[in-house]
Each structure stands twice: as C-alpha cells, then as structure tokens.
C-alpha cells in the first residue's frame, strides 16, 4: 500500500482542545508543526511542549494568510499538511442578531477556510502531494435554534470541502472534512457525573485526523463523523 509521508504541518485557529492534541500527536509522529492564531502568545506553552512555532494571523484577512504561508515556509519548511480549525459563534434570537457579528462569524468559520485552502493548494499542486483537513461540528449538518450564524459558516465550510475533494483529490491532494458531533472534553468542561464518556476526548479526535492522513490514496475518506460511543442519534 502507498501510505503518504508528511513532514510539515500548519494548524490555523490553534488553541486548546483539538488543535493542541493534534499538534502533540503530529510532533510525536516526527512532523514539524506550525501554529497560527490571532494571539500567538497564547500558544507559548504548547510550543514549548511540542517544539512547534507560533505565528500571528487573522484568518479572515487575505494579506495575513498569504504572509503566514510565506513565513511558515521560510522558517519551518514546505507545507504538506494544513488543518483549518478556526470558527466563531454568534448566538442569540435570530431577529436580534447584529449583522456585523453574523458577518464575522461566517468569515471566520468559512471564508478563512477558503483563504487558507487557496494558499495551501497553490503550493501543493505542483508536487501533486498534500492534505488539507477542515474541522466541522454538529452544526455542519444540522442548524440549532439561536445558532444560525454558526450553522451558516459550518455548512459553507463543509460544502467547500466537498467541492475541493472532487476537484483536487484526482490531482493528488487529500481533502477531508471532520464532523465533530458532540461536546469536547477539556480542563474546564467535563462530563456530568451521571453521563460518563458523553463528551469527545480531543486526543481521540486527533488520532482520527492522523488515521485519515495515513489512508492509502486508493481508499481516501473525504468526510469523517465522530461522536461519543454513548451518543444517541
């Protein structure tokens, strides 16, 4: 089997949770890791732990994203894995939502994914090698009350991922979207005592990302849905 080999990864929208777990796992697997966030200083501890390098970037700014890719290439190396993990919510009764908040939510959740994917593909296509992974949510497939902007952004991201997979998988680029269907366990958010295992473990999510990266191209997944095993659906 032809198992892909990757060397350098960029995680955009890095912080605690999925991106931190994924950074640890990728570093453990021997990849050089770059992390991008609006506030790069918050990533200091994770960088010290993993050997990753942090970069400041507003994922909704075309100039910022273009600059990010240039800096990462110059300081770390040519990218062959890019993960888009950024999102933003605007909650509230629909008729009371502020248009500027909705626009920003959609920009972070979806438009930023476009900007990042475009820069990544421009660099991956000449070698016909690379992987771009998008982090979705329950809202990627079902819109919840008082959460329309988040659903709008996540639906858009999923639709873009499907389009990219159909366009670029035949050119050697693995595109995959992950539906994270459930709450994610963290240091400040644990399962209720009467519902053990009812939340997703971010380390387990990261393993699923890695498993997709290791798929032979004769059997690629373009979408993976993960949820706690006790979840009813």
List the end-to-end C-alpha distance of the chain, in Å, as a whole number: 35
Query: Contact 6/131 with Cβ under 8 angstroms?
Result: yes
Structure tokens at 122: 């421009």
CA distance 165 to 231: 29
Coil, strand or helix: which one is 107? helix
* Predicted confidence (pLDDT) at residue 101 exceeds the cutoff of 80: yes
pLDDT digits (tens, 9 = 90+) for 185-230: 887 788 888 888 888 999 999 999 999 999 999 999 999 999 999 8
Compute the average pLDDT of residues 66-75: 97
What pLDDT is stored for residue 185 in this prediction? 86
Structure tokens at 73: 């290439």
Give this prediction's pTM: 0.95
What residue has token string 């366990």?
A: 185
What residue has token string 């709450």?
A: 183
pLDDT digits (tens, 9 = 90+) for 218-230: 999 999 999 999 8
Describe the strand order of the beta sheet including 223-226 as a list of residue ranges: 53-56, 32-37, 8-12, 81-84, 130-135, 173-180, 223-226
Compute the average pLDDT of residues 106-111: 97
pLDDT digits (tens, 9 = 90+) for 114-158: 999 999 999 999 999 999 999 999 999 999 999 999 999 999 999
What pLDDT is stored for residue 191 in this prediction? 82
What pLDDT is stored for residue 95 in this prediction? 96
Compute the average pLDDT of residues 71-91: 95
- Given pLDDT bands bounded at 50, 70 and 90, which one contains residue 93? very high
What pLDDT is stored for residue 86 in this prediction? 94
H or E element that contains 153:
helix 148-168
Compute the average pLDDT of residues 87-91: 90
Backbone torsions φ then ψ of 181, nearest 5 degrees: -95, 80
Coil, strand or helix: which one is 55? strand
What pLDDT is stored for residue 190 in this prediction? 82
- The overall average pLDDT reported for the chain is 95
């Amino acid at each position: 089997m032809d198992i892909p080999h990757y060397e350098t990864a960029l995680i955009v929208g890095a912080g605690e949770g999925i991106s931190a777990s994924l950074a640890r796992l990728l570093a453990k697997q021997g990849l050089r890791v770059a992390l991008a966030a609006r506030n790069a200083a918050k990533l200091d501890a994770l960088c010290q732990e993993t050997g990753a390098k942090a970069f400041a970037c507003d994922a909704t700014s075309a100039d910022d994203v273009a600059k990010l890719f240039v800096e990462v290439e110059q300081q770390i190396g040519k990218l062959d894995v890019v993960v888009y993990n950024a999102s933003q919510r605007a909650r509230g009764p629909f008729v009371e939502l502020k248009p500027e908040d909705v626009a920003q939510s959609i920009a972070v959740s979806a438009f930023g994914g476009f900007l990042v994917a475009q820069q990544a593909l421009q660099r991956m296509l000449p070698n016909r090698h690379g992987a771009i992974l998008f982090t979705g949510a329950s809202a990627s497939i079902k819109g919840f009350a008082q959460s329309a902007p988040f659903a709008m952004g996540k639906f858009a991201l999923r639709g873009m991922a499907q389009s990219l997979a159909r366009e670029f998988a035949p050119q050697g680029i693995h595109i995959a979207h992950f539906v994270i269907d459930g709450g994610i366990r963290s240091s400040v958010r644990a399962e209720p005592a009467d519902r053990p295992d009812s939340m997703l473990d971010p380390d387990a999510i990261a393993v699923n990302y890695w498993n997709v990266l290791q798929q032979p191209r004769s059997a690629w997944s373009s979408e993976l849905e993960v949820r706690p095993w006790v979840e009813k659906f």
